[in-house]
Amino acid sequence: MHPTLELDLQLAARGSRLASLHAALREAIASGRLAPGLRLPSSRELAAQVGVSRNTAVAAYELLASEGWLESRGAGGSFVAELPRAAVEVSDRASVAPWADSRWLRGEGGSWPASLVSGPAPAYHFKTGMPEVAGFPFDVLRRLHTRALQAAAREPARYPDAQGLRALREAIAGHVSSSRAVACTADDVVITAGAQQALDLIARVLVTPGHTVAAVENPGYPPQRAALQGAGARLAPAPVDDEGLVVAALPDDARIVCVTPSHQSPLGMAMSLPRRRELLNWAAVRQAVIVEDDYDGEFRFTSRPLDALKTLDRDGRVFYVGTLSKILLPALRLGYVVAPAWARDALVAAKHASGFGSPTLTQAVVADFIAEGHLLRHVRRLRGEYAERRRVLEQALKRHLGDKAQVYPAIAGLHLAVALPGVDTDELTRRAWGAGVGVEPLSRYWWGKGRGPAGLVLGYGSITAARIPEAVKRLAKVLGTL
């Protein structure tokens, strides 16, 4: 069955019905109301809808087809033809709302840097931020989803709680308490659409446009900067060293400091314990807040992680942000923020204003997934898998690139950063993709005037250990052509 065409076709009261129907349909196509590829009603359905004879409807379709406006596919029906843009009478004026002056319309809202390449994914892809999905327990997820649907059928229809489903908030509180020693309850947790929405909500709540100075790591995570820029913050890039963010380099007027202490994005070092205490003391003196983005800290290669900043916080200054996208599936789009009590209501209000709440069914499924122990088992399996991939990747880099590549040390995560001094890594990226190897240049993470060594960021979440050596061999061959 095909949908009925819900379009008001105004036919002239006088004159030829055929000419009037033809003109109305042609105007609808030319104006873009009938999009290319749209299947039109049968001649019988159209005639009944607009009040003409079927012969008139057939004649109108045939005339439009002869003019190139329609394509007839026999028994398949009539479809709106693909037309050159010039033939479609749609306004392309750049200023349809000259009174609007938002940062987004001015192109100053911030964004992830544009990709250097386009086209299909390469055969070997070191894609960052992507977890392993081949071994994911989809059968468990399917069973839990069926249970959630059955439960939803027994409950009255209602919109989701903006703070998040309590069962999921309880599960996440238990998870971060046991895995990261972050003492919290369900009331402290706000569920978001991935970590990025958490960063966006925090920026909305904390930033006074044009005034608030936010310090960010340099190099650092571009979408984090985008959330702050979009809210109108003034960004202050801060350098990192072997111990993480250099606290001594923070500007005195910074009131927000964004850090990735468990696994610095993108270089990979962990912030030392003395540096963590120094940052907390610095924030206390200046009445600043800290946004701790723990995006993949679950995948550590040492026995015990350092205490999270949120764990060490005694003043309610730290917003702890986490994600389930990199642990489970990106398609779930679930993240969370463990917020200080003074900011929680504001975050929930901002979440409600941006779209009520996250999908209840998805939250219910993930809550059960965590509560039944599937998350813990999944993380333990992947931790060993990622450790092996990293070992294989480091060996392949050493074998095929030798002294040309300097691997940044890291104790956790889904990627590693590689310094390639003196190499045009943008050009290397383009050529590598042409050779079937997807890589990402480190240059995308730098911001402002500060620039460090050239390099690459190689994700190993979505490439198996068996395929890594060949991928690195191809990359080394491309590097030899520069």
The confidence score (pLDDT) of residue 274 equals 96
Of 370 and 99, the one with more pLDDT? 370
Distance of CA 475 to the CA centre of its chain: 27
Query: Which amino acid would we find at residue 449?
Result: K
Reported confidence tier of residue 2, pLDDT bands at 50, 70, 90: low
Of 94 and 334, the one with more pLDDT? 334
Q: Of the segments 5-19, 120-134, 295-309, which one has the largest average pLDDT value?
A: 120-134
Reported confidence tier of residue 49, pLDDT bands at 50, 70, 90: confident
Reported confidence tier of residue 126, pLDDT bands at 50, 70, 90: very high
Reported confidence tier of residue 316, pLDDT bands at 50, 70, 90: very high
The confidence score (pLDDT) of residue 460 equals 95
Q: Catalogue all structural domains in the chain, each as residue range(s) with its CATH number.
A: 17-87 (1.10.10.10), 124-130+377-479 (3.90.1150.10), 138-372 (3.40.640.10)
What mean pLDDT is predicted for residues 115-143? 89
The confidence score (pLDDT) of residue 241 equals 95
The confidence score (pLDDT) of residue 412 equals 80
E-strand stretches of 318-454: 318-323, 335-338, 406-407, 415-419, 437-438, 440-441
The confidence score (pLDDT) of residue 93 equals 55
Reported confidence tier of residue 315, pLDDT bands at 50, 70, 90: very high
Reported confidence tier of residue 326, pLDDT bands at 50, 70, 90: confident
Helices 360-371 and 374-401 cross at an angle (nearest 10°) of: 90
Residue 92 has pLDDT above 60, yes or no: no
Task: Give the least confident one: 164-173, 179-188, 242-251.
Answer: 179-188
**CA dist 166 → 84, 180, 439 (Å):** 52, 20, 40
Instruction: Read off the pLDDT of residues 63-76 as tens digits, 9 standing for 90 and up.
Output: 999 888 999 887 77
Residue 429 has pLDDT above 70, yes or no: yes
Reported confidence tier of residue 5, pLDDT bands at 50, 70, 90: low
What mean pLDDT is predicted for residues 95-111? 72
DSSP letter for 356, please: S
Instruction: Read off the pLDDT of residues 372-419 as tens digits, 9 standing for 90 and up.
Output: 999 999 999 998 999 999 999 999 999 999 999 999 988 788 999 999
Residue 87 has pLDDT above 70, yes or no: no
The confidence score (pLDDT) of residue 50 equals 83
Of 303 and 175, the one with more pLDDT? 175
What mean pLDDT is predicted for residues 119-144? 91
Cα–Cα distance for residue pair 395/84, rounded to 1 Å: 53
Residues 6+ apart with CB under 8 A from 93: none
DSSP letter for 416, please: E
The confidence score (pLDDT) of residue 113 equals 77
Reported confidence tier of residue 246, pLDDT bands at 50, 70, 90: very high
Query: Which amino acid would we find at residue 153?
Result: A
pTM higher than 0.95: no
What mean pLDDT is predicted for residues 133-157? 89
The confidence score (pLDDT) of residue 205 equals 95
Q: Tokens standing for 135?
A: 């071994």
Query: Which amino acid would we find at residue 155?
Result: E
SS3 sequence, the chain? CCCCCCCCCCCCCCCCHHHHHHHHHHHHHHCCCCCCCCECCCHHHHHHHHCCCHHHHHHHHHHHHHCCCEEECHHHCEEECCCCHHHCCCCCCCCCCCCCCCCCCCCCCCCCCCCCCCCCCCCEECCCCCCCCCCCCHHHHHHHHHHHHHHHHHCCCCCCCCCCCHHHHHHHHHHHHHHHCCCCCHHHEEEECHHHHHHHHHHHHHCCCCCCEEEEEECCCHHHHHHHHHCCCEEEEEEEECCEECHHHCCCCEEEEEECCCCCCCCCCCCCHHHHHHHHHHHHHHCCEEEEECCCCCCECCCCCCCCHHHHCCCCCEEEEEECCCCCCHHHCCEEEECCHHHHHHHHHHHHHHHCCCCHHHHHHHHHHHHCCHHHHHHHHHHHHHHHHHHHHHHHHHHHHHHHCEECCCCECCEEEEECCCCCHHHHHHHHHHCCEECEEHHHHCCCCCCCCCEEEEECCCCCCCCHHHHHHHHHHHHCCC
Residue 89 has pLDDT above 60, yes or no: no
The confidence score (pLDDT) of residue 368 equals 96
The confidence score (pLDDT) of residue 179 equals 82
Residue 432 has pLDDT above 60, yes or no: yes
Residue 475 has pLDDT above 90, yes or no: yes
Determine how many CB atoms are found less than 10 A away from the CB of residue 235: 20
Reported confidence tier of residue 32, pLDDT bands at 50, 70, 90: confident
As a whole number, the mean pLDDT across the chain is 89
Cα–Cα distance for residue pair 90/406, rounded to 1 Å: 53
Residue 295 has pLDDT above 90, yes or no: no
- Rounded (5°) CA angle 188-192-196: 115
